[in-house]
Each structure stands twice: as C-alpha cells, then as structure tokens.
Structure 1
Amino acid sequence: MTQPSILLEIDQGVALLTLNRPDSLNSFNADMHAEIRNAISQVRKNAEVRALVITGSGRGFCAGQDLSDRNVAPGAEVPDLGESIEKRYNPLLRSIRELPMPVICAVNGVAAGAGANIALACDITLAAKSASFIQAFCKIGLIPDSGGTWSLPHLVGMARAKGMALLGDKIKAEQAESWGLIWRCVEDDQLMEEAMQLARHLATQPTKGLALIKRALHASTNNTFDQQLDLERDLQRLAGRTEDYREGVGAFMEKRTPKFKGQ
C-alpha cells in the first residue's frame, strides 16, 4: 500500500498536519498537493479545530518541489511552471494564509525553495536549532515563488531579501530568528513540545478574534494609515459582537479565567 504523503491528526482542538515523504525531504509532487489540499479543507470545515500545526517527518521540513516530478529531459517539451504555480502552489498558500485560525509551522530541518516560503506564510513559525532556510530557486534559474518575493522583503527588508534570493545561501535557524524571519528558534528535542503547547494555548483563545487580527495585519501591508484605521473600526465592530468578547469581559469583571468557545 502506498504511504500517504501527509498525515493529519486532530486532538483537543488542534490539528497536526505532517508532510510525509521523508525519503525525498518531504518535497512536493502532484499527489502530495492533492492530499494537503484535502487535509486543509477538512481542517477548515471542522468546527472543533481552533489551531493548526504544520511540520515534516524525518530529517527535513520540506525541500520544495520534487524536481523528478517535472524533470526537463533533453528534447522534451518545455514545462509551463506558471501553470503548476497557478493550480497548486498559489491555492495552497492562499488556503494557509486565509484559514480563520492560527497556523503554526514547526520547522524540524531544512526548509528549501517552496518549503521555506510555505513555512514563512504561516502565522507563527518555530524552528529547531538544526533547521535552516534556503531560497534555492536561483541555483536552477528560477525565481522565489510560493509568496517568497512578498514574504522576504516584508519580514527581513529588501537588502537581506535580495541577498537570500540572489545567493541562495543557507540561513540557519538562529540567524533566521535574529533577522525576524521566524518567531523563535528552539532546541531540536523541544520543537514539537513547544509547537503543540503553543497550539493548545491558542485553541483555548477567542478564535474569531484571532482570525480578525490576522485579517487586519495582512491588510496593513497595502493599506494607508487612514484605510487601516477604518478597517480596525469595522473589524472591531465584528469582534465586539462575538460570544467570546462577552465571555472575556465577564471573566475580567468577575476575576475568573475565561472559557472561550471560539464563537
């Protein structure tokens, strides 16, 4: 029986999605794209899930595209890589970014190419100290995709973004943290414990409010200051109508721990 390309576990409000092609450093092929698309759809539809953790099996997080899945043989027709991005990678990145819950990435090893940029598209990215990030596209004559040309300048500034993209150097986890590329670097044996502890905490928080925070922060990169003020007004109006807001205020007034239901 063929081993599944991804594994999905759901427990205590947390979905754990594991990329599961360890022999190829969890690189993407067509089957893996289909399976992860289905898994994220399940997560979105499951009202009990209030946080998602994405990680990889084996010694790497994700090496990006499996080049053997679209090898360019001598004399063969040139592939349309734009079609692959439009049909597979772009929908994946949009689905991760638009999930109405926190998405945590636990980078357990090398994250290269699209694998690096998928990790950077998550809301909170943790990395093991042995992990690294590589914008490997320039090594084969391509440009960073999967949102890389957007994420890198926003996260680390244009100078470092250009250095990463044009040189393709390995950025180790501790350097990634110091640059602001990721949230935190942790000891290898503590990575999953910390990621799951963080996810379980977020799964007890006001999920709709957290989703609105994501919307506001994402919009801020394109909005003017006045537009962002208007958006804050509109989203705060929505947040103030949630049951979790009512519970949060009630718990504060009654000096007790709130019990949020994500409603």
Structure 2
Amino acid sequence: MDMITFEKHDTGVAVVTLNRPDVLNSMNPQLLDEVRTAIRQTRDDADIGALVITGAGRGFCAGADLTAGFTPPASATIGDGVAHSMEIGFNPMIRELAELPKPVVCAVNGMTAGGGVGLALAGDVVFAARSASFVQVFGPKLALVPDCGVTYFMPRLIGQARTRALAMSGDKLSAEQAADWGLIWACVDDDKLMAEAMAYAEKLAAGPTEAFGDIKQVLDVTFDNDLNAQLDLEKETQRKRGNHPNFTEGVSAFMEKRAPNFSR
C-alpha cells in the first residue's frame, strides 16, 4: 500500500495510518481503495479485535483531493462527476467502515476538514489531539453540502443547531469544544494521543468482539425506531448473544470474581 500504512499488532489491534502528509492526507481514489482493503482485512482476520485510524504528519485528513478524482462517465456533467466519485469511492468507504462488526477508534492528530470529518465520525470512539480541529468547508468554500456522512453523524451527535451553524459558517471547531459538545469521546494532549487511543483499542480488542458488533448495530438504528421496535430489537439481539459461549464465560467469570476470557 502506498497511500496508507496497515499494521497488525499482537495485542489484537490493527492500525491504519493515512500516509499523504504532504497534502494533509487528502483522499484520492487510491487512498480510498487502500482504506477499503484494510477494512476488509480487519473484518476477515479473526486475530484482529479493533481498528485504529490516524493520519501521518500534521493533519488527520483534509477531505477529498480536488486535484485527483475518479474518471467520470463519458459526457457527464461536473455534478455527475462529483456524484460518481461519491457513489463508487467515498460512500462505499464510509459504509464499510461504519458497518465493520468490530470497534473502530479514530485518533485525530491534527486538522480534519470536509470529508475527513465524516471519516473520523464514522469511527465508534474518537480521540483528538488538543491541537486538532474540525472544519466544514463544503458550503462556504465550495458551494456544496457536507458529505461522507457528516449530515448523518453530526446532527445525531451535537444536534441540528450546532451542525447547521458549523456547516454554513465553516468555522473551526476545536478538539476541546468538540469533546465538550459530545462530537468526540475525548480531547487529549498531543503527545498522549496515540498512547490513549491504542490503550482504549487494546481494551476493546481483548473484549467480546461479536458483542461489540451487535452493540454498534442496535445503536445505529435507535433514532429510526420507536420504543417498541427498539425493545424488540434488544430482545432478539439478547437472544442471539445469550446463546453465544461468551455470555456463559462472562457469567462464570462474574460469579468466580475473575476477568472473563472471551473468544473472538
């Protein structure tokens, strides 16, 4: 892989590092393809229990690389070309990341803009360095709407009012404010970012991976379900989880006052 690095640690954590630091890790077709490959490798490798995503250099991700897009269909309009790039590149990556049945921890190491914000928020737990910031440039700079899932993730995390103001103004949101608002899990000192993110990911990797995947699924639909539907989903998911050996192990560990030894 040329646009990312992919490392598998013996702790059960895989680490993807976006590796185009000279352009703030902006996303071109090759980078998108390589991230998707890493997601599939993480999904299919039973030895991996959690994924960490971060960026090389001074930024996490500056969004789409406007100088290197996908080749649009013949006779396509400019808008058709933009939509085509989303359909075959950006949207599949966000879907595959959000649907990965394993925990995803994002370590935002610097400025993240545009679609890079969507990439970060597609993770389950987001740590950000104190010097990091989140900025929506789509509207005020490009006369576009936010994409890469930003219009899905952000209102659910911080509400419509804050999302609208950020999307229309293009103002930077500091990592500290993002944590205060609940957009991310934690803002940490720059020199502690990867240590904090890795420690959290290692804790998750040692846990019941399948259960974490089911937690993601039931939480993903909670705003679309009414109470009765969500209660029914919880019931059926607990039926599935209760029949898994990890539940038996968890109960035994609790009764024996020891740490559980879960399988993946």
TM range (shorter): over 0.9
Letter in 2 for 1:51: A
Q: Distance in 1 between matches of 2:257 and 2:154?
A: 43
Q: Distance in 2 between matches of 1:109 and 1:213?
A: 29
Residue 244 of structure 1 deviates from its aligned partner by 1.1
Q: Distance in 2 between matches of 1:261 and 1:66?
A: 41
Partner of 1:37: 36
- Contact 2:69–2:85, Cα closer than 8 Å, also in 1: no
Q: Distance in 2 between matches of 1:6 and 1:223?
A: 37
Partner of 1:103: 104
Q: Distance in 1 between matches of 2:123 and 2:69?
A: 26
Give the secondary-structure state (helix, strand or coil) at the position aligned to 2:78.
coil
Residue 152 of structure 1 deviates from its aligned partner by 1.4
Q: Distance in 1 between matches of 2:115 and 2:78?
A: 21
Give the secondary-structure state (helix, strand or coil) at the position aligned to 1:104.
strand
Q: Runs of 5+ in structure 1 lacking a partner? A: none
Partner of 2:161: 159
Partner of 1:136: 137
Partner of 1:10: 8
Q: Distance in 2 between matches of 1:250 and 1:92?
A: 39
Letter in 1 for 2:260: P
Aligned 1:162-201 pairs, distance under 5 A: 162-201=164-203
Percent identical residues? 50
Partner of 1:78: 78
* 1:125 pairs with 2:123: no
Q: Distance in 2 between matches of 1:36 and 1:210?
A: 21
Partner of 1:260: 262
Q: What TM-score do you get using the length of structure 2 for normalisation? A: 0.94
Q: CA RMSD in A?
A: 1.4
Partner of 1:87: 88
* 1:26 pairs with 2:25: yes
* 1:202 pairs with 2:204: yes
Q: Distance in 2 between matches of 1:254 and 1:215?
A: 30
- Give the length in aligned residue pairs: 256
Q: Runs of 5+ in structure 2 lacking a partner? A: 71-75
Q: Distance in 2 between matches of 1:255 and 1:178?
A: 36
Q: Distance in 1 between matches of 2:244 and 2:121?
A: 30
Residue 219 of structure 1 deviates from its aligned partner by 1.1
Q: Distance in 2 between matches of 1:167 and 1:145?
A: 16
Q: Distance in 2 between matches of 1:60 and 1:115?
A: 10
